[in-house]
Every structure is written in structure tokens, then in C-alpha cells.
A and B are shown apart, each in its own frame.
Chain A
Amino acid sequence: MPTVRLRAAAEYPPAAQKLFELSRSWFNHDFAEPPAMSRVMAWDLEFGGPHGRAMKRAMAPGEFTRGEKEMVAAAVSGINACEY
């Protein structure tokens, strides 16, 4: 059970709604509620904004494809024993 109460998207201000739109487009998936991590990052946009931009920059296709980078991300998450 999460340490915090994860707020529904409707409980966030308009600036955060933009981030949820980006999240939907990033994952190309129509979530009933934005993923928990998106809602966590939207809590404080002065942190979540630049953190999300750094992530998008890192994950963008370059010498390695987006798919390859998702695989690296999965491996790093596994190494860090993170189920999320």
C-alpha cells in the first residue's frame, strides 16, 4: 500500500493536467487514471517538470531506439529491485 494517498487526476490543478496529457501520449495508452508515477511527479511541478524533461530527453530515439532504452530501463529497475 502506498505511503501516501495518490490523488485522482481530477484533484490536480490545470498545470498538472498538461503533464497527464503528456503522460498519455508518451505511453500511447488511454489510462482510466494517469499512472501512479505521473501523479507523483505532478505533485510538485518544479521537481516533476525538469525530471520528466530529463527522462524524455534520455529516452528519445538516438543511437539507441526507444525500445532498446525501455529495455535498459527495465534492467535498471530490476537491478534496483523495484517492482513498480
Chain B
Amino acid sequence: MTGDAVWYEAAQVVGITNALNVAADTLGALGAVDEADGPAETRALFAELRDFYGSDDVPQGFRFIAHDPLYAADVWAAARHAFSDNRLARRFKEALAFAVSVSTRCASGATLHLSQMRRLGVSPRGVMEIVGVTQMFSSYTKIADTLQLEPDMGDIAPEDASPAPGGPPH
């Protein structure tokens, strides 16, 4: 996992996962959009979501934010980009999103990303690997916070001197 590009990619997954989990967990009062009554944009969006996730279900967060179909389409474009195979494989990105969902106690997000991990070939043992990392670092972080430990391992990894994508050399 050397070089900054993979970390930027991971950060996108973490950020957009949290954004979708926040909506899924808290916007029930808005009511889920019924695509039969919605505009063509909503039907097209939900069709894309079903295709991407290989499921008849549309993730709950999108059903809530689809009250503004143009907003939802932009959120989906960002999410689709973040979760697509790139330097990091989609299979791993779903595992990362699962860890984020478990850490933020988002049951619907954990269910979604667990089902995606399994669909993409992760075995029960592989799922437990991610559960283990998530649980152990949920412990280490709270021990560190309780004792107010200061970071002391920042110089282990070398700095990436490459420029931003398309930019001039550093």
C-alpha cells in the first residue's frame, strides 16, 4: 500500500460510505421514494444501482435522497467512481466500507457491504479477517485515546514525492 494514490482512493470510499450511511440511518422520516411515482431520472438511477449491486434492492440511503433526483444522481456518480475497480479492487473497497459501517454502528451499511463482499467472492473466513481488524483497532484506538497517547510511528513510511494527477513534478 505504498504511494499516496491508493490512500486517496481509500479515503473516497470511507467518505462516501459514511455519507450514504448517514442518510440510510437518519432520513426515514422523509419516506423512501417510490420509483413508480418518480420521474424518469429516478427510474434510471435505481436501474443503475440495481445493476451495480447485482440486487433487486436499492440501498436505503439512495431511496431517501432520491427526493432530489439530480442531487442523488451526483452522489451516485461519486459513489460509483469511488467503488469501481481502480488501483484498489472493488472487492477490497466493499470490505473497507463494511469496516466503516461496523465502526459507525450502521446496521444497514454493514448488511449492504457484507452482502457485496460475499457476492464478490469473500468467504466467511475473509469476512472474519475484516471483523478482526475492525474490532482490534476499535480497541487500540480507545486505549490510545484513554491514555492520550501521542503519535510516534509517523516516520515509518516514506513520503510520496509524486505530484497530483496531471500536475508538474514536486
Contacts and interface: CB of A to CB of B under 8 A. Distances in A.
Interface of A: 1-4, 6, 27, 29, 35-37, 40, 51, 54-55, 57-59, 62-64, 67-80, 82-84
Nearest to A60: B129
Given A51-B139, A77-B137, A64 B151 contact: no
Given A2-B147, A63-B122, A68-B95, A76 B134 contact: yes
A1 B147 CA distance: 9
A75 B7 CA distance: 10
Given A58-B133, A63-B125, A79-B104, 17 more contacts: A2-B149, A3-B147, A27-B153, A36-B150, A37-B149, A40-B144, A40-B149, A58-B129, A58-B132, A62-B126, A72-B99, A72-B133, A73-B136, A75-B14, A79-B103, A80-B103, A82-B144
Q: Which residue of B18, B139, B141, B148 has the most chain A CB atoms within 10 A of its CB atom?
A: B141
Contacts of A6: 149
Interface string B126-170: 100110111111111111111111111100100000000000000
Contacts of A67: 1
Contacts, number: 123
Contacts of A59: 132-133, 136
* Minimum-distance CB pairs A-B, first 5: A58-B132, A63-B126, A82-B141, A84-B144, A67-B1
A2 B92 CA distance: 35
Contacts of B149: 2, 6, 36-37, 40, 84
B150 A2 contact: yes
Majority SS at the chain A contact face = helix
A38 to B, nearest CB: 10
Contact of A64 (B18, B130, B138, B156): B130
Given A3-B146, A77-B137, A72 B6 contact: no
A37 B132 contact: no
A79 B18 CA distance: 9
A74 to B, nearest CB: 8
A19 to B, nearest CB: 15
B16 interface: no
B125 A76 contact: no
Given A35-B152, A82-B145, A84-B150, A75 B138 contact: no
A71 B2 CA distance: 11
